[in-house]
Amino acid sequence: MTHVADPPLAATRPAARLSAFYADAVGDLEASDPALLHLLGDELVRQRDTLALVASCSPARPAALLAEGSAFANVTAEGYPGRRFHAGCVNVDKVEQLAIDRAVLAFGARYANVQPHSASTANQVVMTSLLEPHDPILGLDLDAGGHLSHGAPVNVSGRVFTAYGYGLGPDGLIDYDEVRAKARAHRPRLIIAGTTAYPRVLDWAAFREIADEVGAYLLADISHIAGLVVAGLHPSPIDHAHVVTTCTHKQLYGPRGGLVLLGESADLRLPGGRTLAQTMQSGVFPLMQGAPIVNSIAGKAYALGAVTGPGFTETMGRIRSLAAALAAELVTRGVRVISGGTDNHIVVADVLSSFGITGINAEKALEECGVLVNKNRIVGDAHPAQVASGVRFGSNGMAAREFDTDDVTRVADLVVEVLTATRATSNTTYELPAELRERTAALVREMCRRRPVAGYR
Ligand SMILES: *Cc1c(COP(=O)(O)O)cnc(C)c1O
């Protein structure tokens, strides 16, 4: 038998080992699948050179993506740390426990489950483990800025459960009297507080009071505002709601995935004698999922560590001040901003009344210029969701680029210039002068390159 010499010490260091692994992988990709290699490279360039003002995403820290692309992907690990159904979980147990400990610390929780594949799945876990099929649930209407997984008719949540919705008042704000009236009328077993396009603060205590009055559980889905909550820039629902869910990819700059969190309610005894924490633990596995995506949990561990590390609170503060500045700049230019401004990262503008164009036309015209936004319905919208009368801006991406308020002024200028010049030829088609498109796209590219997201070159 030949003796294989130990590699030099340097090569056994984790950084060197990982660098070699990923360098070999890039070489392999180049040799074996150049088509895919090109797509991966093109996507980096696209993200570098476009201004993403999409409120529901953020550029993940490259280190989080590295963890997500790690060898943990190869491990099947049904169960939980210390109680697995498979061998080979020594490091898996450590990485999952690390993610749990960090989630607990970041959110001031008593219990965290880091296995949900997505926030939608996390919501399904909550509903399926606390309710019976056909039980009534009450969530914000999709059209008013709720989420599919909160009871939309096209979603499993709306098909398995009997879903009722509450809307927004004419001022664009949640009307808690309406929530109470709907709760009294329909006696939901679960009330869902959580939004995708709502620029104002949510009153968790008011939701809990209503839930208690009708004997409902309260689920707070903080997918959009999780970073602000961690940073203390939005009130935390952790001790108001029975259960909190979030995704890890919107405001936590992490990989795509979900979390279930419990605060003071963790030890609450449910009918049958089990605690809420035990119910969520079995609700994720084996009720809803099989083996966890361990590589995704590794990426979550990174992101959840970073939120209590240096710079995160500053980034969250910037998210809020940039969104507020954008709202103010748009209002100054005569744009109708829903609710007049923002308390978080979201600005919703009524482009139909401001520019005479639909949300889809605004979205497409801006995308041609390298600015990414979403069409969004607004209160009393006459158009369906695929057309819409508004657009939603978000500041997560601008904060990652360390934009300042001068940059926001430039963004508002060019957005208003483009939308003013966009001439609708129908609700879904338009004309945009080519000269303006090219000039603006070049300006946006230059702005983005001047202020890159850290690590995205
Ligand atoms: C984005 C979002 C979700 C869905 O997250 P996924 O991880 O994509 O399933 C759920 N709830 C709310 C409020 C969201 O904004």
List the chain pLDDT tens, one digit each, 457 residues.
Answer: 455 566 555 556 999 999 999 999 999 999 999 999 999 999 999 999 999 999 999 999 999 999 999 999 999 999 999 999 999 999 999 999 999 999 999 999 999 999 999 999 999 999 999 999 999 999 999 888 899 999 999 999 999 999 999 999 988 899 999 999 999 999 999 999 999 999 999 999 999 999 999 999 999 999 999 999 999 999 999 999 999 999 999 999 999 999 999 999 999 999 999 999 999 999 999 999 999 999 999 999 999 999 999 999 999 999 999 999 999 999 999 999 999 999 999 999 999 999 999 999 999 999 999 999 999 999 889 999 999 999 999 999 999 999 999 999 999 999 999 999 999 999 999 999 999 999 999 999 999 999 999 999 8
DSSP letter at 267 equals G
Distances (CA, A) of 232 to 17, 111, 130, 236, 343: 38, 19, 29, 7, 13
pTM score of the predicted model: 0.96
pLDDT at 8: 58
Q: Return d(Cα 47, Cα 239) in angstroms, integer.
A: 38
Q: What domains, with CATH codes, occur in the chain?
A: 72-306 (3.40.640.10), 312-450 (3.90.1150.10)
Ligand 1 centroid to Cα of residue 256, in Å, is 10
pLDDT at 3: 57
Beta carbons of 221 and 119 less than 8 angstroms apart: yes
pLDDT at 10: 52
Residues 6 or more apart whose Cβ sits within 8 Å of residue 154? 148
Ligand 1 pocket, CB under 6 A: 56, 118-120, 147, 149, 194, 196, 221, 223-224, 247, 258
Q: Tokens standing for 188? A: 């939901």
Ligand 1 centroid to Cα of residue 192, in Å, is 13
Phi first, then psi, for residue 163 (nearest 5°) are: -95, 135
* Residue whose entry in the numeric block shows the structure tokens 């695929």: 386
Continuous segment of H or E residues that includes residue 372: strand 371-372
Residues 6 or more apart whose Cβ sits within 8 Å of residue 243? 126, 130, 217, 218, 219, 220, 260, 261, 262, 265, 276, 280
Kindly report the protein residue whose alpha carbon is nearest to atom 9 of ligand 1. 120
- Look at the alpha carbons of 394, 398, 403, 409 in this order and tell me if their dihedral is positive or negative: negative
Ligand 1 centroid to Cα of residue 253, in Å, is 14
Distances (CA, A) of 163 to 11, 132, 142, 245, 363: 57, 13, 12, 19, 31
Beta carbons of 197 and 346 less than 8 angstroms apart: yes
Ligand 1 centroid to Cα of residue 436, in Å, is 35
If one residue of 124, 149, 261 were mutated to test the ligand 1 pocket, choosing by the most ligand atoms within 8 A of its CB, it would be 149
Give 66-123 as a 3 state SS string: HHHCCHHHHCCCCEECCEECCCCCHHHHHHHHHHHHHHHHHHCCCEEECCCCCHHHHH
Burial (0-12, 13-18, 19+ Cβ within 10 Å), 201:
middle
Helix and strand counts by DSSP (H, E) for the chain: 18, 17
Beta carbons of 218 and 240 less than 8 angstroms apart: yes
pLDDT at 457: 85
pLDDT at 170: 87
> What is the atom index within ligand 1 of the atom nearest the CA of 221?
13
Looking at the DSSP assignment, which residues form a beta bridge with residue 174? 168
